[in-house]
Structures are given as C-alpha cells and as structure tokens.
Chains A and B, each alone.
Chain A
Amino acid sequence: MRPDRRRPGDTPPPEGVFAGAPFALIDKAGAHGLTLSALNEPARAAGLYRGQAHADACAILPALISAPAEPERDLAMLRRLALWAERFSPSVTVDARVPGYEGLLLDMTGGAHLFGGEAALLAEIRTRLAAADIPARVAMADTPAAAWALARFTASPDPIAAAGRTREALAGLPVEGLRLEPQVLTLLKRFGLKRIGDLYNLPRAGLDRRFRGEAGQRVVERLDQALGVLNEAMTPERPPPLYRLWTPFAEPVIDIPGVEFHLPRLARGLADQLTRAGQGARRLSLTGFRVDGRVTRIEAGLSAPSAAPEHMLRLLKEKGLEALDLGFGIDALMLNADLAEAVGAKQGDIQSAAAGKRRNEPLPPCGEGVGDGGADAALWGFTRPDNPNRQRLTPTPNPSPQGGGEWRPAPSSGEAADLIDRLQAKLGDSAVLRPQTRESWIPERSETWVPATPEAADLDIAKDRPRPILLLERPEQIQTLAGVPDSAPAHFTWRRVVRRVIKAEGPERLSAEWWRADPNAARPARTRDYYRVEDDKGRRYWLFREGLYDREDIQIDAETKAEIDRPPTWWMHGVFA
C-alpha cells in the first residue's frame, strides 16, 4: 500500500483582508475557556501555539485577529475535497481522528504510474490544490501511518518514503508522528525518546510495560502500523465503485455539449468493462471534476442490470446533464457503476411471442413484398415498422388471408426494464410504482406501492371479497340517516350531496389490529363495519361505520375506554365501478 496524505494547512483568514496579519480560530468548547484551535503563519511566528488560552495569546500579541472555529464546516469542506480527490484514487478516506491534524488518505496502490510516477503525482496534487487556494502538504509512504507522519513532520514539501524503506524514512521524525495521546508523548520525552528511530532498538516487551494501562500497547501498535507490521483499516468516504472509467481533458470543458461529446466514449468503455465481467450496472454516477477543486455529479438507477451503452447514455441524458454545475469548467469526467449485478442471458419467451401474434390492435401496414396466401414461410416479406426504439424484434408469421408477415416486438422484460429506468430517471423512483399486497385486512394497510420492477408482481388477492376500484387516500366522514342503528344507512351525505341508498350489502366486520396499536395515533383504532351500498343513480360506494354501539371487543384501560366507547361514526372509503 502506498497511500499519500495531505493536510489542508491552516485555515486561511476570511475575506483575505488579514493576509499577513496574525489570525487564529477560537474554540469555545474547551474546558478552560476560549482556546486557540488553529493559527496562521504570522501568529505562529509570534510564539502562539494551538491549545493556548485566548487571553494569554492576546496578552502576547494584542493585534491578534480571531474568529470562532466551526469544526463541522471544516469537516464538510474536507468531505467535499475527498470527493474531488477521487480523481486520483477510487478510495479516499477522510481522516479527522486527531483535531488539528485533519487530512485525507488516498489509497494509491498500483495507481501512481497513471499520473507519471509518485513524485509527479504528489506535485500534481499540490499544484492543483494550490490553484484552488488550498495550501497542502503531501506525502507518500508504504503505510497510512507512515504517510501521515511524513506529511506532517518533515521539512521537504513532497516527502516520499521509497518502497520498503519506511523504517529509514521515519527514523528521524519526532515521536509526535506516531499519533499518540499527549500524556504518552510527555512520558516518552521524559524517557528521552524524542525520535521514532529511538524506539526501534528498545525491547518491545519492556516498552509495553513502561506505561500505565493500554498506553504502552498503543505505542507498540502505532509503531507497528507505521512500519507495516500491523494492518490499519481505512474507511473510504464512499465505497469504491465496482467499475469506473475516467478521462482527463487537456482543456477544461465549460459547457454541457462538451460533456455530451465525451460521454459516449466513457459509456462504451464502461460497458466493455461490465460486459467482460458478465455484469450489468444497477446504479450509475457521472462525476465532473471542476477546476476549482469541487465536484459535480448526477446519478441514475436502473431497475434491472444493463450493460448497454445506449441505455446508459439515454438514462443520464434524461436524468438531466444540465444538472451538472460546471462552474468555470471541468478538467476530468468519471463514469462509475456504483452497483452492479450479474446479467444472465435470457431466452426469448415463445409463449408471449405467440400471444403477440394474437394481439388484435390495428397494425401498422404490412410489407409490400408479400407472398400469396401466407402458407409458405419462405415467401413472407418482413418489414420493420418505423420505430427506432425496438431493440428485440421477433419475426412472427401473420396468417391473415392477405398474407405477409411483420416484425413484432417480442414482449420481454428487457424493454419493460428500459422503460421503467427512463421513467424513474426522469420522475424519480417513488413516482413509478407497482402494487404489493400485505398481510393485513385493514384496507389502507393491505397494499403498498413499491418502486416498479420489470417482472410482474405476484399479488395475493382474495376473490370473494369485493373491493372498490378507487380507494380514498383517507376516509371521508359522512352524515347518515339509518333506519335501524345497526344497519346500512338509508340516506347519507358525502361531499355535500345527499344520496339515497337503494341496495346495501353488509356488514363485513374488520376488527382493529390491536397488536399494531400506534401510540402516536390521535385516537385508538376501532372496529369497522363495511357496507357496499348503491344509490338511486346506480353508483356503488364502500362505507364503513367505525365503532360498535355496545362495546369494543378489545381490552384496554379505563382511560381509553371512554374514547373507544364514543358513538360510532360513518365514513366513505371507496367507490366501486
């Protein structure tokens, strides 16, 4: 592993007006009042240091300009920078473990040669960051811990520990480079161990025992991690994409047509990668790296894995390339398949192809090269209806007396998947739905709508219970007049119209699901009696009476019993055909 680290140095003063003047950020959260949390070069030159009390600092340097620190915004900025750094490596980790020593960690294993070697890579990172006004120190070493130490405690701008020579590179650095707690550092210095190299020759067992608690263990552990004896886990900001293709530009691309021009090549390359691996993308992301050190990206999901470059292109275009904020231009473009699944070759469905033949809708005109009688397949002329969207065409003989055959689309889940993807890309996942039944008899709970998939849903619908075709989102209360309290109403008023009930069927009693009691509900659920009624105009409605006249059959405490026992109310819930 040859990761490199960089650290955005001191936060530059706001507005740039204070350039050259001593400036510090103040941490208010400290236990001992206001303390300095970050300072610039002039302030440090005046002898101030991180962690110093603000009052002391002002006594030393009355001209000190200060502003409150905002660690959350610093971290957000670092995260944004991590996305930008993905142009160098797919695995970028934000390292904010030690306050004041935040940085980024790039796993460059096997990647440095793409940028002209390690030295060229470090120089490029530093130059690009400097162009965006971010002073940084960059280092490269075999292990994350070694790179961490080199980036922070060496004098040279781009230190590189040659492969396999980490031990020598670290020997001269101060023990602070091991990222230890302050108490441990103090103790180490009291022992006279000031350089990392001083620890190399000490007996490890003794080193461990010198410190109280786990501190000694930590010294050994950190040393091992720096030297590569012990592995150090890194958690990338985003999981590395499964497949990615990246292209830099000599000149920044400043408009969307430019992106559109480069996109097909990327899509084809990514499709090649996917096809070779027998995979199809389920989620695509297109990232533009802006010259000002930011990134802009769009994402598109696919309902079924696909490795067709045209489909990827169309999806991204429909998602809206205009959503890419190019700023002053982008100098690199990256297309990722963040999620991929195996694509199985699918056999055409012979039954549905035959069903397609039987479809009886008016057809586009058949071909001119028509045989006589249509009995001989060799004589059939096949024409292709003018539809560029058809990908899969199956010849289906049309045994009509006029003869002639035509190409019919074989109904395949592939076409449906393409359609669903495009609709979802444009309208959002939650806008393209299919039904799913649930195990519940409360109507509004008995089915949910989930993002659509190309395969037909398997619904579990009882045939003996008539249900309305339209269900009101929430039941609407109605006023009723009933002959007998415990029967269907004789009249009811819904949406300000009085309707006379001619026929009624019911009740179908649906008890409240007491095991699902919602503590946040305004009222406890009550038993519902559903009636199917028909008014004098022939319209059929689904009404229910909520609550029972005598008592509810659920056992509850006395407090809610009064609420449960209030008089029943009538509600409109749906309309039948």
Chain B
Amino acid sequence: MPSTLLINPSQPDPAVYPRACEPLEEVGAAEPADAAAALAFALERLTGAEDSRPWLLATTPMWLRERGRPFARGMERFAPGRLIWVRAEKEAAALWALEEALKSGAVAGGLGCVEQPAFVTTRRLEFAARAGGARGVLLRAGPVSDLSAARRRWRIGAAPSGQAAFDAAAPGPARIRAELVRRRDGPPGCWELEQDNETGRFGVVAGLAGHGLDASGPAPAGRHAAA
C-alpha cells in the first residue's frame, strides 16, 4: 500500500467521483479476493450519473464460476432494474456485445468482466463509448500493466469497514481502497472510500470525523495520496 499523506484537504481530486468518469476506464482487483469490491466500485463509476438509459453487464462463464453471479438484490443501489446482463460464452462475444451496446447510444454504460482484452479492442471500446455518449468500464481480474486505451486505471482493494452505527461487533459501512494507478489528466493517487449507508454512493473517508461524504459534489475534506 502506498504511503498515505494528506494534501490539500479542502479540494479532493474530482477524479474519484463517478461524475467525472471517462469514456473508458479500467478497474482491477488488487487481489483476486477483492473482486466484489472492484465490481462495486466499477458499478459506481458506471451508474453514478443521472441517466435513465439501461446499463449493460457482460460476463464470461469463467468469471462467473470464479467469482459468483451478479445478485440484483445486492445491487439495489446500482439500479438493477435497468440492468441488461449479457451472459456470453466467450470473451470475444462479451467484448462484441459491450462494443455494440456502447456504440448504439441505447445504454448509459457498459461493464465488461474480461481477462485479456487486446489493446486494439480497448481502443475500439473507447471510440464506441464516445460515439454513443456512454461510459465503458473494464473489470479486470487482477492488477495488470499491459497496454490499454483506458484513460484511467484503478486498483481496488477491500479495507476494514467503518464503525457500525449500533453494533460495534458488526461490519460497518463498506470501505475500499481505490488507487488510481495510471491516468492521463493528472498525477496518480490513492483514496480510501466509504459507502454511504443511505445513498449507497462511495465518498472519500473524512480524516477525522469518520463519516462518509456525499458523492454528488466535491467533499469538504479528503485524503489525497501520491503513489
């Protein structure tokens, strides 16, 4: 874990908030066991904007076997009613469906759970997302450093949860460590995010207060770390 240091607490980096999602971003789990945390963060990026169009999730059988299937009752905060789940047999088919969906302008965003997209494929996805006014997120199995056209690459790990409201022994609001490994428009960074119990949105954990922050706008305080 990179060293964390508090800089410019009054203005956290807007890249953390899903409103600033680029046409194509890549989210990887820090470790294979962090798949659920990475998925939640990816869904947050995807469904963060106000958009009434459906969103698409494309998976491969291997991904489902390894990590389980999406459970709509657990995705309540990510508009599961508008979810279209493409259960592709091959990775190529999943990527094709993702590209078609992004390009069509019919979806707000598409999430592809893939292992090894080629650089050309990611480039195509980015163009498709721009053309369709959608946001695309690639969910990678682990931390990877291959070529990609994604504007931002995140590495997501689980973090010990916050304080539960009424029961000290119970898991509190979910926290994740979001590391922005590579980006085009600024320096990389690392933040600890907490899921708000009410809205289900991730916000930067305030240094002292221990409360989640509203994700809809810049938070008054935040921790920003240089990797």
Chain A residues near B (Cβ < 8 Å):
349, 351-352, 355-356, 358-364, 385-387, 389-390, 408-409, 411, 415-416, 418-420, 422-423, 426-427, 430-435, 437, 443, 446-447, 449, 452, 454, 456-459, 461-463, 465-473, 497, 502-505, 532-534, 536-540, 574-577
Contact = CB atoms under 8 A, between A and B. Distances in A.
B75 interface: yes
A503 B168 CA distance: 8
A352 B171 contact: no
Interface string B137-177: 00000000000000000000111110010010111101110
Nearest to A424: B86
Contacts of A468: 36, 68, 71, 74
A468 B36 CA distance: 9
A470 B68 contact: yes
A458 B79 CA distance: 10
Residue of B74, B85, B101 most packed against chain A (CB within 10 A): B74
A548 to B, nearest CB: 22
Contacts of A504: 169-171
Contact of A360 (B49, B87, B101): B49
Contact of B51 (A389, A411, A449, A502): A411
A358 B21 contact: no
Interface string B99-122: 011011111100000000000000
A124 to B, nearest CB: 44
B176 A447 contact: no
B34 interface: yes
Contacts of A459: 72, 76, 80-81
B73 A420 contact: no
A119 B115 CA distance: 66
7 contacts: A352-B53, A358-B50, A389-B104, A435-B83, A469-B74, A503-B171, A505-B169
Interface residues of B, number: 74
A523 to B, nearest CB: 22
B104 A419 contact: yes
Contacts of B84: 420, 423, 432-434, 452
B47 interface: no
A423 B100 contact: yes
Nearest to A540: B171
B134 to A, nearest CB: 7
Contact of B67 (A422, A462, A575): A575
Contact of B68 (A463, A465, A473, A533): A473
B6 interface: no
B76 to A, nearest CB: 5
B27 interface: no
A462 B74 CA distance: 10
Nearest to A505: B170
Contact of A472 (B41, B43, B68, B72): B68
B69 A503 contact: no
B182 to A, nearest CB: 18
B35 interface: yes
B206 interface: no
A416 B54 contact: yes
A467 B64 CA distance: 18
7 closest pairs, A vs B, by CB?
A: A577-B40, A435-B72, A505-B170, A415-B106, A470-B68, A471-B71, A467-B74
B12 interface: no
A457 B81 contact: yes
Nearest to A502: B160
A429 to B, nearest CB: 11
Interface in B17-53: 19-23, 33-37, 39-41, 43, 49-53
B33 A539 contact: yes
Contact of A423 (B36, B97, B103): B97
A421 to B, nearest CB: 11
A576 B74 contact: yes
Nearest to B93: A427
Given A427-B88, A433-B84, A361 B68 contact: no
Nearest to A539: B158
Contacts of A409: 105, 132-133
Contacts of A539: 33-34, 36-37, 158
Nearest to A360: B19
A363 B131 CA distance: 9
Contact of A467 (B71, B171, B195): B71
Given A355-B52, A419-B106, A423-B86, A576 B100 contact: no
B217 to A, nearest CB: 12
A575 B133 contact: no
A359 B73 contact: no
A540 B73 CA distance: 16
A387 to B, nearest CB: 5
Contacts of A534: 160-161, 171
B9 interface: no
Contacts of B135: 361
B80 A473 contact: no
A469 B75 CA distance: 6
Given A431-B86, A538-B158, A470 B171 contact: no
A471 B67 CA distance: 8
Contact of A461 (B72, B131, B157): B72
B133 A470 contact: no
Contacts of A576: 36, 74, 171, 174
A502 B164 CA distance: 13
Residue of B33, B52, B71, B131 most packed against chain A (CB within 10 A): B71
A380 B175 CA distance: 45
A390 B105 contact: yes
Given A473-B65, A574-B68, A574-B74, A387 B132 contact: yes
Given A386-B131, A387-B131, A469-B40, A456 B85 contact: no
